[in-house]
Structure 1
Amino acid sequence: MKIEQIYTGCLAHGAYYIVSENEAAIIDPLRETLPYIERLQKDGVTLKYIFETHFHADFVSGHLDLSKKTGAAIVYGPTAEPDFEAIIAEDNQLFEVGKIKIKVLHTPGHTMESSTFLLIDESGKETAIFSGDTLFLGDVGRPDLAQKAAHMTQEELAGLLYDSLQSKIIPLADDITVYPAHGAGSACGKNMQKETVDTLGNQKKTNYALKQPDKESFVREVLDGLSAPPQYFGMNVAMNKGGYESFENVLQKGKNPLSPSEFEATAEDSGALILDTRSAAEFYKGFIPNSINIGLKGDFAPWVGAMIVDVKQPILLICDDGTEEEVITRLSRVGFDHVLGFLEGGFDSWKNSGKETDTIHRISPEEFAEKFAADSKVVDVRKESEYEAEHVNDAFRRPLAEINSWAGMLDNDEHFFIHCAGGYRSMIAASILNARGIRNFSEIEGGFNKIKETDVPKSNFVCQSKTL
């Protein structure tokens, strides 16, 4: 028997490849199927089942393409109602893969169809659970995503999750290995550990959600501090449930090189969003007017999902040479399938053609320290928890994820400084503000990580009512 965790850091996602004898199973695959096909061919095994722990919200699964290419059956837990052929398992139903068995444990709460898959090895020993979004390391799945579909409140779903954990997971042996669908950085939880594999016994000792004395405490603690889910989550659920275009078609259409003139004409005719995926360090020096910067070398796909409201939005790309396929692939993982093409030769070809360019005013932390005064307006776009740990005195707490709610409050006649932790998120914010005509600001290179090294006054006092 072989178990391989295939972890994708930018999505904090774990897929699982399991082999026994001449058969294999894959749990929660990503959109692109080639890595799985290559493993199957290398091992000389047949894919028998594709197990889906639930209808995922944070990424588009590869279950449909993988099933079409291999003939493997797709398996969901009880109550799932996909718009395609699949096995809807019963609670406690067993599936044989080679000499091992995989038992379906229906664990609703995160979603109604959520299930945990219990692996029973060749000797009959219960060895591991693939817990999906039911149980993370350090946390459990958020119960607020499926309210509408389940016709239940988040409190009711949280209570259901408590019952699932108490009846199906906690009674299992402490030496069972826990393989979750996500790790630290995922928006599917709020308190995940950096590790991606653990024992159930250790989770019983360290996971706050598993240590609650009763259901009332569990519901209160699990729901406390949840931020609003990204807007693309619901659209990804719909794609996972209803179907989607094959990844190969999406990639082929997106890999469409455009000259500067063709790029400009396509942007005007289609209303496409121009997405610049270069680093912040390159973007601020020069970019196509009204383009949005989300750097590929970062949490690219989740921030695209958080910043771009509609997965059907047409997109035109500015990329570093040779990264076009990676960009299109990572966009497709979160359902953004409508890439119309990319600027051939990158930004340099646009600049060399003599077309209009724009810049962002970026300053060093040292310049910020020189210019900072008691009445300076500072906008901190980090998460709430980062801000509360420490921030520039009297800085406005305005998380990037909520930019649509606060951008309109800014007075373009009054200069302000903007920063995040290291410069990645603040450049996203800067590009969005700039595209909306808000230009009277200075973005701080290196963010708060570098500001801490200056004598700019800082505190951890939080003023909840402060307004722009």
Structure 2
Amino acid sequence: MHISTIETSSLGDRSYLVDDGAVAAVIDPQRDVDRALGAAGERGVTITHVFETHIHNDYVTGGLELSRVTGAQYVLSEMDDVDFRHRAISDGEVLKVGAMRFQAMHTPGHTHHHLSYVLLDEAGEPKAVFTGGSLLYGTTGRTDLLGPEHTTDLSHKQFHSVRKLAEELPPNVEVYPTHGFGSFCSATQSSGNESSTIGEERQANPALTHDEQTYVDDLMAGLSDYPAYYAHMGVINSQGPEPIDLRAPEPVDAAALRQRIDDGEWVVDLRQRRAFAAGHLAGTMGFELSTSFVTYLGWLYQWGAPITLIGGTTEQVLDARRDLARIGIDNVTGAAVSSHEHLADLALAASDVRSYRVASFADLAREKDARELVVLDARRKDEHNASAIPGALNIPIHEVLSRRDEVPDGEIWVHCESGYRASITASILDRDGREIVLIDDDFDEAGQHGLIEES
């Protein structure tokens, strides 16, 4: 048996292709199914089954499309209420996939109907377990995605589900979670390990080292805000997603770009944050294409609104479209590509190009007492409460669109933990014509320059 990992670092998730040399199963595939098909092609195997551990809240599944393309059985919990044909599976049931066996194990917590799948060899011995959003590396899946009225109950169920896995499976069984690699579906930050076993988790996972109430209290206390687009994922996945469209968007010229900006449409610049600061079209938003891009754009996005992309290369635009499609943002109505540092070829007039200063925490330490300025912290509330610059105004990035009127007049120095969230926040405030300084620096540097006040 061979297990291939299909990484989606932009969402902090993993899918898996499991094969016996002839046939294969895919667990929790992403919407861009070409990657799973490519992995199967590399292995020279045929996909006959697609397994979902749960109805996902952080991405649009590719399971339905993969089953359509390959003719594979699409396997979901018998408790899931979905609008498409599938193979329902119950707790304890075993499905044969070539020489392999997959046994469903009901592990509620992340969702009520959540399943884990135990991979059995021909002798019926457990070799691996695919745990979805249940047992993660050094943590567990979050339990508040179905609403606050379910959180306490699901937190207790998550504890017992992880205990069930640890008690029923041998210590050498390898653990393969879907979440926990940066996904907001993780209750707390994972251990950072690239692999783990049941035995290793028995030694380190809080659900296995703490008593039930301590685990539940710590889990619930650690739950922070999660992306707003999550509200749409379960609905799309239950109804059955449409096939993905990864074609290049229609090209847009300078006049059309300006019209879209003036009409208040989402025109998103994908270039590096410092390039955006040095010169960008007035009225655009800067979302540097990175592993964090789709999470934060999806968090702020007005669902259903048309998006126009500006990239430094065609490949950048195509990569962004793929990322957006993974969370169901399909209304990409056009794109423009410019290799010019200051986008001169996309501006109708010199006044259409704006810029702002990029600085460091060392600069802030030198200049903060010389004149009046506003320090804006774009991190989450829990991050700000743990350690902050005295007097800084905290408006988390996902609240900036609705709260930007709270930012006082004057020169605004925007920071976060690394500069990424600050760069998006800066671009949004710049659309209002504000005087911006982007602090593109590691927050640890603030402490090194005497700016931090620990709580």
Fold match by TM threshold 0.5: yes
What's the counterpart of residue 338 of structure 1? Answer: 331
| Residues 106 and 115, structure 2, Cα contact 8 Å, conserved in 1 | yes
Deviations 1:190-218 (A, max 9, x none): 2312113201111111111222223x333
Q: Percent identity?
A: 28
Q: 2:268 aligned to 272, 275, 298, which one?
A: 275
Consecutive unaligned residues in structure 1, runs of 5 or more: 462-468
Please state whether the residue corresponding to 2:216 is helix, strand or coil: helix
What's the counterpart of residue 156 of structure 2? Answer: 159
Please state whether the residue corresponding to 1:153 is helix, strand or coil: helix
- Hey, what's the Cα distance between the residues in 2 that align with 1:157 and 1:238? 20
- Aligned residue type for 2:234: V
Deviating more after overlay: 34-43 vs 330-339: 34-43
- Aligned residue type for 1:171: E
What's the counterpart of residue 318 of structure 2? Answer: 325
Please state whether the residue corresponding to 1:139 is helix, strand or coil: coil
Deviations 1:267-307 (A, max 9, x none): 556x5301111111100111122211111024111111112
Deviations 1:106-155 (A, max 9, x none): 1112112211000002332101110000111111111111238xxx5311
1:443 equivalenced with 2:435 (yes/no): no
- Hey, what's the Cα distance between the residues in 2 that align with 1:81 and 1:71? 21
What's the counterpart of residue 181 of structure 1? Answer: 178
- Hey, what's the Cα distance between the residues in 1 that align with 2:177 and 2:57? 15
What's the counterpart of residue 228 of structure 1? Answer: 225
- Aligned residue type for 1:177: E
Please state whether the residue corresponding to 1:325 is helix, strand or coil: helix
Please state whether the residue corresponding to 1:229 is helix, strand or coil: coil
What's the counterpart of residue 464 of structure 1? Answer: none
Distance 1:370 1:90, change over 3 A: same
Please state whether the residue corresponding to 2:90 is helix, strand or coil: coil
What's the counterpart of residue 9 of structure 1? Answer: 9
Deviations 1:396-430 (A, max 9, x none): 34332333464332122x43322123321111011
Alignment of 1:211-250 (within 5 A): 211-214=209-212, 216-247=213-244, 250=245
- Aligned residue type for 1:308: Y
What's the counterpart of residue 49 of structure 2? Answer: 49
1:102 equivalenced with 2:96 (yes/no): no
Please state whether the residue corresponding to 1:6 is helix, strand or coil: strand
| Residues 78 and 90, structure 1, Cα contact 8 Å, conserved in 2 | yes
TM-score (norm 1): 0.89
TM-score (norm 2): 0.92
- Hey, what's the Cα distance between the residues in 1 that align with 2:356 and 2:442? 15
| Residues 129 and 178, structure 1, Cα contact 8 Å, conserved in 2 | yes
| Residues 209 and 222, structure 1, Cα contact 8 Å, conserved in 2 | no
Distance 1:217 1:309, change over 3 A: farther
1:459 equivalenced with 2:453 (yes/no): yes
Please state whether the residue corresponding to 1:258 is helix, strand or coil: coil
What's the counterpart of residue 146 of structure 1? Answer: 146
| Residues 357 and 438, structure 2, Cα contact 8 Å, conserved in 1 | yes
1:402 equivalenced with 2:394 (yes/no): no
| Residues 76 and 87, structure 2, Cα contact 8 Å, conserved in 1 | yes
Q: 2:412 aligned to 407, 411, 416, which one?
A: 416
Please state whether the residue corresponding to 1:10 is helix, strand or coil: coil
| Residues 446 and 452, structure 2, Cα contact 8 Å, conserved in 1 | no
What's the counterpart of residue 251 of structure 1? Answer: 246
RMSD in angstroms over aligned alpha carbons? 2.3
- Hey, what's the Cα distance between the residues in 2 that align with 1:116 and 1:181? 10
**Equivalenced residues, count:** 449
What's the counterpart of residue 91 of structure 1? Answer: 91
- Hey, what's the Cα distance between the residues in 1 that align with 2:44 and 2:411? 63
1:426 equivalenced with 2:426 (yes/no): no
1:262 equivalenced with 2:259 (yes/no): no
What's the counterpart of residue 132 of structure 2? Answer: 132
- Aligned residue type for 1:316: T
What's the counterpart of residue 284 of structure 1? Answer: 277
1:356 equivalenced with 2:352 (yes/no): yes
Distance 1:316 1:387, change over 3 A: same
- Hey, what's the Cα distance between the residues in 2 that align with 1:431 and 1:115? 42
Consecutive unaligned residues in structure 2, runs of 5 or more: none
| Residues 378 and 422, structure 2, Cα contact 8 Å, conserved in 1 | yes
What's the counterpart of residue 370 of structure 1? Answer: 366
- Aligned residue type for 1:442: V
Distance 1:23 1:402, change over 3 A: same
